[in-house]
Amino acid sequence: MEIRQKKGDTPLQEQLTEPADNIGYLGMGAAALMFVVLSIKELYEVYVLEDHPLVYKKFLDTITTAITIVVVAVPEGLPLSVTIALAYSMKQMFKENNLVRHLAACETMGGATTICTDKTGTLTQNLMTVVQGYFANRLMSLPGSPAEDNREVAKALSGSATQELSNLLAESISINSSASKKRIPGDKPGVHHLEYVGNKTEQAMLKFLEKGGHDPMAIRSRFDPQEVHVFPFTSAKKTMTTCLRLNGVMRYHVKGGAEMVLSRCVAVHCGSHSEPITDERKHELIANINQMARGRLRTIAVAYAESRISSQGTPFPTTDD
């Protein structure tokens, strides 16, 4: 459910509030001044000049005129004028290929001098791919062509020395993901094709597994949904955690911002075995992360942990701490 918040005034509305209030105050002052002047004039004619007797209708007419001045002074056509101006601005911006969904945003977008965008979606094709990785103490770079990418990934994840790491990585990425593959209608009637849907980063990681010869959806189907518990990604922790209840073991797969995940790790998997993370090794990993970040890449780290459980019915943890 969305959190409903009271919308504030736009910059243009804030600028127009002060002159509108001043016009209203000026109209009220003019009406009060006119009422006082006309009332004094009427009393002077009645009691000093004795031109005619006192008639209360004269004062009622004066009050009516004063109220009319107040009503006319209020700029009731100002909101309509602002709406028309914003609608015209939206039309002009649309001609420049700038789509504005809300009229109130026209004044903000129209005055923008610098646009800050995310790495994906705004100025690109809204697609992401894995281009670099660090596995088993080896930095892997993908050239970009499908054939060469498949060869590099297979080289990094295949072999007896990295088979255990490859299986763990495939399990972690496949299970700890909200993206999935669905049947999408094609351009022609009756034609469908399978396509990944969901988070673009997770789609890229699942496609990376396919390049290494793994089937993420098949891996995911091996596990009973009753034995899987997911802690969704949160912006506060910048991680996503999935718990697997296996035979006597609770396995935790964690994925998220490289710095956040690395700060919680105590060992690094070297392919066939794990080694404790020393200060020297931690600096090496941080250097690789910074190198990727300087190349304008989104750095994601994958980790796992295991703990013994007494029975298969052991409840899942309530938090992912």
- What residues act catalytically? 118
User: Cα(266)–Cα(285) distance, rounded to whole angstroms?
Assistant: 13
Query: Cα 18–21–23 angle (5° rounding)?
Result: 110
C-alpha Rg value of the chain to the nearest Å: 35
Q: Which of 69, 59, 77 is nearest to 26 (CA)?
A: 69
* Strand 249-257 relative to strand 300-308, pairing: antiparallel
